[in-house]
Structure 1
Amino acid sequence: MPIDNSIVHQIHKKPDGQPASLTLREQELANSEALEQLLAGLIETYNSKPNKAWGYFHEESGAYPFSGWLQQLIDEELDFVGFSKQATEHLKTLMEGSNLALGGHVLFIRYRQGMTAFLIIALLHHTEGVTVTEELEVAAARHLDLSALNMAARINLTEWKQNATSKQYISFIRGRSGKRVSDYFRDFIGCQEGADPEAETTTLLQAFQDYVGEADLPAEELKGKAKAMTSYVNSQSRQGEQVALEELSGVLDEENPRAFYDYIRHKDYGLAPEIPADKRTLNNFFKFYGKADGLSISFEAHLLGERVEYDEGEDALVIRHPPKGLVQQLRNRKR
């Protein structure tokens, strides 16, 4: 992934209501192997985050100036250092309005993946660890903690400029469990939510269920299509890519690659050609899971009626051909 521009600044702030301060870098970072490793690790961590939202810019205004500065950068009216400084100063101001906001290093990287240009912005923090030195001494080592990433956004610059109607060219990490801690970071980007990954995935799964239901497919063929869909969607999610419905249609049926895509268009499910997917919604759809009183059971949906049956009258679950490891444990317990 070629890196076009990168820089890092620092915001000093503790979650105690005190004013924040800045340390601004005056030059772009030089491209290096370490920087490339950082970008690769950052993207891998970012893509793995399940709690992302997708959206698009608010109209540029005093409250949401970021898109205007970004446009100036693209038009070469503002250089990358100047753009990043203005953005970081704006982020500091918004942080001061949140008692829970914690300072850190603000990383800006503009890079290309294939023919697509991206800008990723992340607030990074350090963690303390240990290392063994060349002298074989154990010493403290401070390093960036990408595993704790919870303030980051990625902008698909190519889609933003080429698709004026798109409402999903920005993705950002959303706070979990209704927490509003990260709202200031979303407002810093000036992003409003467009596509809802959970709702979009639910609609896609309903379309799939309707499609295979009308086709009245044999059990084995249905199982194969379900696995193909799960594999494709999870692969796209790992790469940070959206689900392309036409491409998914080809994965589901190589002999008639447009069948599922045309079905969705004809039935008008309201899905865009590309949608963000929610892995949890997908996996829950194809899996039954329950846990209570020390008992935990999960199995793939296609096994119901084959190796797993539920007797409603007896309120009992019958499992045929249980895993060999489990069987061996049960046998050992009887001895």
Structure 2
Amino acid sequence: MAIKHLRTAFSSQYQPGQPARLQSGEALQEPGGDYEGLHKQMKRLFNSKPGKKYGRFSEDIGESPFSSWLKDYLEDKQGFTSFTDRLFNQWQELLTNCQEEFVGQLMVVHEALADSDVVYLMILESDGALRFDGNQALDTTDVLSTSRLNLAMRVELDDWLGDNAAENYLTLVHARGTGEPGELFIRLCGFTNQIDVEKETLTFLDAVEAFAKSSEPEKAGEVRTRAYEFCKEQHALGEPVAIEALSGYLDEDEPGRFKEFASKSAEMPESGVLHPDHRKVKKLVRIAGSGGGMSVSFSSDLVNQAIYYDRDKDALTITRLPKALREQLERYLENRED
């Protein structure tokens, strides 16, 4: 990983209706050191964030000119400083009209990877911390939060401007509870959603489940497990699921078998890429449910081995109880008898 350019700007809006405050830092080229460490941690948060959205730039450049400014910078029509000056000024204008309070650091990073370049826009938040001042009096100070990331976007530059341009090259983190500032961030980025993650999750689950059922009974569980593992690994990398790569992972001897099966049994996108929600994909390997004061979760491999379901009686029989659960039950019953 190598940062080509990085710049931050502190922005705040404490009194809606009044001009927002913005203070920008210097544009840094190949800053290295602590900046690389900070960016690595924020990328880790970005990749692990559930519920990401995928899309492309809005065609309304007048409303969201970020894409045109970014393109000018990449084509050397303006420098990184001029590019980020424009971006920061627009962010200040958007916050000035915001009716909710806001405070945060807007960080722009142009990163060079081994095989491509990416650009990140991130809103960094702060945590309060205690310290002793010069007079040994207890005081509070703000420090950057390295455990929260609620607003961020990544631009895959090659997928956007490369010879084989992709339909969707933006990945957005837009957490719940970000309110109006979150909507303004999306407007700043010019993001428009083109991916129905819920639909693609169902497509993924249906294709894997059908493929598992078509496999030999003793291998069905392995198919589900490997599909979940692959999806989980891609999520950790912040990458979608490529059907061709998944097909090779599921069957190394016949790497094209799942891809061919899925194309016939499910409605696969032309891109050959799916963006399933890894939290829901967990249904492939775990069965869970809660309600009425009860919460149950277990590996799907245990069905008809250690866990048996009687449809007629709507009853679940569990054998080979976990040791900790058995001990809790024994203590509880002993106390009740006493």
- Report the alpha carbon displacement of residue 9 of structure 1 after superposing the two structures with TM: 1.4
**Equivalent residue number for residue 31 of structure 2:** 31
Q: TM-score w.r.t. structure 2 length? A: 0.89
**Equivalent residue number for residue 78 of structure 1:** 78
**Equivalent residue number for residue 226 of structure 2:** 228
- Does the aligned pair in 1 maintain the 2:66–2:87 contact within 8 Å? yes
Closer, same or farther: CA 201–5 of 1 in aligned 2, 3 Å? same
Secondary structure of the residue aligned to 2:28 is coil
**Equivalent residue number for residue 158 of structure 1:** 158
Secondary structure of the residue aligned to 1:128 is strand
C-alpha distance in structure 2 between counterparts of 1:41 and 1:88, whole Å: 23
Secondary structure of the residue aligned to 1:314 is coil
C-alpha distance in structure 1 between counterparts of 2:208 and 2:131, whole Å: 51
**Equivalent residue number for residue 323 of structure 1:** 322
Alignment of 1:280-299 (within 5 A): 280-299=279-298
Alignment of 1:236-255 (within 5 A): 236-255=234-253
Closer, same or farther: CA 30–204 of 1 in aligned 2, 3 Å? closer
Q: How many residues align?
A: 331
**Equivalent residue number for residue 202 of structure 1:** 202
Matching residue's letter, 1:284: K
**Equivalent residue number for residue 176 of structure 1:** 176
Alignment of 1:1-335 (within 5 A): 1-14=1-14, 16-28=16-28, 31-100=31-100, 102-130=102-130, 140=140, 142-162=142-162, 166-176=166-176, 181-213=181-213, 215-218=214-217, 220-267=218-265, 269-271=267-269, 272-335=271-334
- Does the aligned pair in 2 maintain the 1:201–1:281 contact within 8 Å? yes
**CA-to-partner distance for each residue in 1:28-65, whole Å, 9 max, x for gaps?**
26613110110111001111111210100112521121
C-alpha distance in structure 2 between counterparts of 1:54 and 1:102, whole Å: 25
- Report the alpha carbon displacement of residue 263 of structure 1 after superposing the two structures with TM: 1.8
Secondary structure of the residue aligned to 2:86 is helix
- Report the alpha carbon displacement of residue 175 of structure 1 after superposing the two structures with TM: 3.6
Closer, same or farther: CA 285–249 of 1 in aligned 2, 3 Å? same
Secondary structure of the residue aligned to 2:77 is coil
C-alpha distance in structure 2 between counterparts of 1:159 and 1:192, whole Å: 16
C-alpha distance in structure 2 between counterparts of 1:77 and 1:307, whole Å: 66
- Report the alpha carbon displacement of residue 10 of structure 1 after superposing the two structures with TM: 1.9
What root-mean-square deviation, in Å, do the aligned CA atoms of Structure 1 and Structure 2 show? 2.5
Closer, same or farther: CA 200–21 of 1 in aligned 2, 3 Å? same
Closer, same or farther: CA 191–107 of 1 in aligned 2, 3 Å? same
Matching residue's letter, 2:287: F
Closer, same or farther: CA 197–113 of 1 in aligned 2, 3 Å? farther
- Does the aligned pair in 2 maintain the 1:9–1:24 contact within 8 Å? yes
- Does the aligned pair in 2 maintain the 1:15–1:102 contact within 8 Å? no
- Does the aligned pair in 2 maintain the 1:175–1:181 contact within 8 Å? no
Matching residue's letter, 1:312: R
Closer, same or farther: CA 294–266 of 1 in aligned 2, 3 Å? closer
- Report the alpha carbon displacement of residue 109 of structure 1 after superposing the two structures with TM: 0.7
C-alpha distance in structure 1 between counterparts of 2:84 and 2:19, whole Å: 21
Matching residue's letter, 1:73: Y
- Does the aligned pair in 2 maintain the 1:12–1:22 contact within 8 Å? yes
Closer, same or farther: CA 55–294 of 1 in aligned 2, 3 Å? same
C-alpha distance in structure 1 between counterparts of 2:291 and 2:11, whole Å: 45
**CA-to-partner distance for each residue in 1:96-138, whole Å, 9 max, x for gaps?**
33313513211111112221211011111221224699xx998
**Structure 1 gap ranges (5+):** none
Q: Percent identity?
A: 25
Matching residue's letter, 1:217: E
C-alpha distance in structure 1 between counterparts of 2:38 and 2:178, whole Å: 30
Matching residue's letter, 1:221: K
- Does the aligned pair in 2 maintain the 1:60–1:67 contact within 8 Å? no
**CA-to-partner distance for each residue in 1:67-108, whole Å, 9 max, x for gaps?**
100110110001111111101111222223331351321111
C-alpha distance in structure 2 between counterparts of 1:99 and 1:18, whole Å: 10
C-alpha distance in structure 2 between counterparts of 1:93 and 1:178, whole Å: 18
C-alpha distance in structure 2 between counterparts of 1:101 and 1:166, whole Å: 37
C-alpha distance in structure 1 between counterparts of 2:45 and 2:300, whole Å: 29
C-alpha distance in structure 1 between counterparts of 2:149 and 2:85, whole Å: 21
Closer, same or farther: CA 297–171 of 1 in aligned 2, 3 Å? same
**Structure 2 gap ranges (5+):** none
